[in-house]
Amino acid sequence: MKAEDDEEEHENSSICCAAIRKGHTAGQGLLRGLAFFCLRLCAWVWISGVVIWPAVLPLGFASRVALPKGGLSCALAWLVFGAYPLYLLGLAMLVIMSKWVLVGHYRAGALTIDSFAFLRWWTADRLVTFANELALGALRGGPIYFAYLRGLGLRARGYSRIDTRHVSEFDLITLGRRCVVAEGAKLRPAAAEAGLLYLRPL
């Protein structure tokens, strides 16, 4: 009788320990999910800031200097020939700087989608996509856009005409001389499969 009671007590304690471990694991998963949500929120704030900050000084100069001293025509001329090019230059420099700080060099391999490395990749990818869609689309197909992609890490043996906005994981892309990449083509070495992000040279 005593042996049966001891066995039942041991079984109950094992069930309690398993429940505690399960609850501890669930709590850790909840905290991890909350931490990743906060980090993604901070990433979106940074991405929005990168797109907005370069416009602050040129627009401030237009409203405080060009408009009061030169009138509307002078302010408009400044916005078209001064502010807009400065904005594009500042945006491109901030995007390039952010990519190198967040990711550095892209390397071939696999990333789990719940890892910090994947979050850094995601932030850099969203930033580049957002900037290309919102502001840098007018430069596609020209030498300035090519130089911008080279600054992000694209490898090329000479000048190439790139008309597409679908370019990412730049360090894994190598182009030959005088390549032409048409609009709509995708230079994306990353592919997601079964909970993993695979980065492969292209």
Q: What is the pLDDT along the chain (202 residues), one digit of tens a residue?
A: 544 555 555 455 555 444 445 555 656 767 877 887 888 888 888 888 888 888 888 888 888 877 788 888 888 888 888 888 899 999 999 999 999 998 988 888 888 888 888 889 999 999 998 888 888 888 888 899 999 999 999 988 888 899 888 888 899 998 888 888 888 888 888 888 878 888 888 8
- Taking CA atoms, 127 is separated from 16, 26, 156, 161, 176, in Å, by 47, 32, 23, 22, 27
Q: What is the residue whose two structure tokens read 């492969």?
A: 200
Expressed in percent and rounded to 5, the helix, strand and coil fractions of the chain are 65, 10, 20
Joined tokens for residue 96: 């390039």
Contact present, 151 and 178 (Cβ < 8 Å): no
Residue 168 burial (CB count, 10 A): 21
Which H/E stretch holds residue 179?
A: none
User: Structure pTM?
Assistant: 0.78
Tell me how far apart the alpha carbons of residues 169 and 108 are, in angstroms, rounded to a whole number. 10
